[in-house]
Structure 1
Amino acid sequence: MSKQIALVTGANKGIGRAAAEQLAVMGMTVLIGSRDPRRGEEAAAALRAAGGDAHAITLDVTDRATVRAAAEQIEAHFGRLDILINNAGITGSGQVSPADATDQIPSTVDLDMVRAVFETNVFGVIAVTNAMLPLLRRSPAPRIVNVSSHAASLTLTSDPDGPFAALLPSAAYTPSKSALSALTVQYANELRKDGILVNAVAPGYVDTDSNNHTGFLTPAQAAAVLVRLATLDADGPTAGFFSEDGPLPW
């Protein structure tokens, strides 16, 4: 069997790029999904310079034409896909963490922002996953990892005395990640019989552009749990929600 093929969306920077780097070190062929072809190629070139097997794939999860073209390109060049990491996502508040985003307060939120966030964080995952499923079904050990957030946990965020009580209420980012959790379970239930393991992961508060680099984890530290879920053995979990410390409550 040839080396595994892994696609990471939003992989030209941040957690996605770190996950791609770690998968490449493991000897996989890594496909760098990126909206910007130039940035995608720069990231792929850097991985190749470090000894990895990496290729840029132009992929905007909100653009069905690029999603279809990406699937066709992967089929033409590789014939299958073993790992899909749905990492691409937006906060909806620019270079501000959702925890500090006053423009996401439910009673005053702009519906256009909510729609834009769901378009990427939820509908984009459906579009990419469905386009890649025929390729994943050709793999002997297909894995899907959806990158979520601790904020997706209804249990954690509804506790008035819990660690997330100080977060500002959010009608965009946080509900989009909760919806992604529900979506993860539904895909896992459908695909369980086919041996496709589907899980959601909360990487933690990471130093990335999405929070103006206020996070305390490095992208490499955060990516470790993505890679672990992407390389599960056949008896590994499915329909789960995990952080580096283990299972999280829904």
Structure 2
Amino acid sequence: MSTIILITGANSGVGFSSTKVIASASSEYHIIMAGRSLEKVEAAKAEIEKTGIKGSISTIQFDVTDKSSIDAAVKQVESEFGHIDVLINNAGVTSRNPDLKAQIEETMAANVVGPALVSQGFQPLLFKSNRPYSIYVSSGLGSLERAIEHPIPNDQWTVYRMSKAALDMLMVQEYTALRGKGVKVFAMCPGLVRSNLRGKSATEVSAGGAAGDPDISGHTMLTIVQGERDADAGRIVHKDGTYNW
């Protein structure tokens, strides 16, 4: 029986790389690639399949900021698969709206409220798994300790950091609520990897050349899915260990 893994925001960045790495690891994995644009997730699926993966992939369209869209996706996944084994809340944004109120609302809607609603919607399907995992893609930028030790000299990332700190608390609350039900809950920090979250230009995507291969984050995700990081449940996991709060 396949391990069913749902990944939001799967058509680019960490979601794309996680799909590729996990699907390449074993024939037991079936990835449901989710995104707001079905055209984009279908194109991403085709690109990954060209690499000769061992597992299988399907796609689904829904918007994590739209509860009715999430509810429809839950029904579709239940109809097609009956359950899921791993839920990876990866979709997120970095709003550049010059209006602070709008920037906060846009960022929190996608990075905190959306994952909370996705988890709420899909938990009944996760509870049907014999080995359920719930994983939130967070960031070391959400660590309060690291914010003091490694300050960023401008406010470009302030709201994003706020959202990831809130997401980490969501993860902890879910961990404490569900550990008695056998669900292993994590936050995963991808590290500084190439991503369009920083912008669309080559310089922004690569962080001026400092960003690494996003497959690094995909391999970190794979270790969680394979159970290698079970001792770190309830923590912010990165490739070399865990972050403090």
- 5+ unaligned residues in a row in structure 2: which ranges? 199-203
The aligned residue for residue 18 of structure 2 is 19
Match of 2:80 in 1: 77
Mapped partners of 1:236, 1:41: distance in 2: 35
Give the whole-Å Cα distance in 2 for the aligned partners of 1:140 and 1:234. Answer: 17
Residue by residue, what CA displacement relative to the aligned partner does 1:23-59 show, whole Å, maximum 9, x if unpaired?
2122211000110010111122333443441111102
Alignment: residue pair count: 232
Q: Distance in 1 between matches of 2:31 and 2:230?
A: 24
* Residues 63-102 of structure 1 mapped to structure 2, 5 A cutoff: 63-93=66-96
Q: Choose 230-239 or 143-152, whichever is displaced more.
A: 230-239
Contact 1:121 1:176 (C-alpha < 8 Å) held by counterparts: yes
Partners of 1:167 and 1:249 lie apart in 2 by 22
The aligned residue for residue 43 of structure 2 is 42
1:157 partner letter: A
Alpha carbons 1:20, 1:32 under 8 Å: kept: yes
The partner residue of 2:172 within 185, 208, 212 is 185
- Corresponding residue for 2:201? none
2:112 paired residue number:
122
Among candidates 210, 217, 225, match of residue 212 of structure 2 = 217
More helix by share: 2
Distance of 2:229 and 2:77 partners within structure 1:
24
Residues 207 and 214, structure 1, Cα contact 8 Å, conserved in 2:
yes
1:111 to 101, 110, 116: 101
For residues 218-241 of structure 1, the C-alpha deviation after alignment (integer angstroms, 9 at most, x for no partner) is 111122212222332695332111
CA contact (8 A) 2:223 2:229 kept: no
Give the structure-2-normalised TM-score: 0.89
Work out whether residues 191 and 217 of structure 2, in 8 Å CA contact, stay in contact via their aligned partners in 1: yes
State the alpha-carbon separation in 2 of the partners of residues 121 and 246 from structure 1: 23
**Which residue is equivalent to 2:195?**
208
In 2, distance between residues paired with 1:167 and 1:203?
A: 22
Deviation >4 Å, runs of 4+: none
Q: Tell me which residue corresponds to 1:29.
A: 30
Q: Tell me if structure 1 keeps the 8 A contact 2:32–2:59.
A: yes
Rounded Cα–Cα distance in structure 2 between residues aligned with 1:15 and 1:123 = 20
In structure 1, what residue type is equivalent to 2:197? Answer: S
Distance 1:122 1:181 in 2: 9
Distance 1:225 1:167, change over 3 A: farther
Shift of 1:167: 4.0
Q: Percent identity?
A: 29
2:128 to 128, 131, 138: 138
Partner of 1:158: 148
Matches of 2:236 and 2:181, distance apart in 1 = 20
Aligned partner of 1:31: which letter? I
Match of 1:59 in 2: 62
Aligned to 2:2: 3
Contact 1:141 1:234 in 2 (8 A): no
Q: Secondary structure at the match of 2:93?
A: coil
In structure 1, stretches of 5+ residues that fail to align are 95-102, 104-108
Partner in structure 2 of residue 238 of structure 1 = 233
Instruction: Give the CA deviation at 1:127.
Output: 0.7
Which residue of 243, 246, 249 maps to 2:244? 249
**Please, what is the CA RMSD of the aligned residues?**
1.7
